[in-house]
Structure 1
Amino acid sequence: MDLFEKLYDEHENVKVRFVGFTTEQTRYDFGIVYTNLFFGKPLVVCMQTSRSTLLDPKDLEDIEYLQKAFKMDNRKQVEDLCEFFKIAIPGSSFQTQYE
């Protein structure tokens, strides 16, 4: 282990939500990991593509960010996804990760 400088190694019991839903155009399957790490931002994982990102309500104001994170071409699909995440991602105050 001399080759690596450990930055963190945390164990945490977290809340995980798995949700699948459809819109008029697409089916979605996501895992949302609510954690105290990563400044309190939930880790959102697309179960179909394995793409993931950290999201908070402020990130959802930028549709292009969501579009790039999940590599989506269809603007309507991104808007639908954004509406879902506005409900699923709770507002949280900024937390310092390294206290």
Structure 2
Amino acid sequence: MTLIMTTPEVPGREIDRVLGIVTAESVQGVNIVKDVFAAVRDVVGGRSGTLENMLRQCRDDCLRELEENARQMGAEAVIGLRSDYFSANNMMILTLMGTAVTLKR
């Protein structure tokens, strides 16, 4: 299992080698039904479970992809994880990026 950290280091461990940047992307389509229900929620208030689930799915997909990409590079950890969410043309897009590293024993 690859450690994934938002911090610039792994607590209690020293970085041995920096392997480079590792990224992952997920794009989820928002269909008309989801748009309508989300718009209704915006008007009447409350949380949009549909969009929250979509964001959760994007995040889970990205984390799996990021871990696999880091493992293929020979990384033991990804540090400095950053995320960026945005939407365009009825698509929900998430990108994750971090620095793949190995750790001293």
Q: Which protein is richer in helix relative to its size?
A: 2
Q: Which has the higher contact order (CA 8 A, sep 6+)?
A: 2
Q: Do both proteins adopt the same fold according to a TM-score greater than 0.5, normalized to the shorter chain? A: no
What is the TM-score of this pair, normalised by structure 1? Answer: 0.25
Q: Which has the higher strand share?
A: 2
Work out which of the two has the higher radius of gyration on C-alpha atoms and give 1 or 2. 2
TM-score by length of 2: 0.24
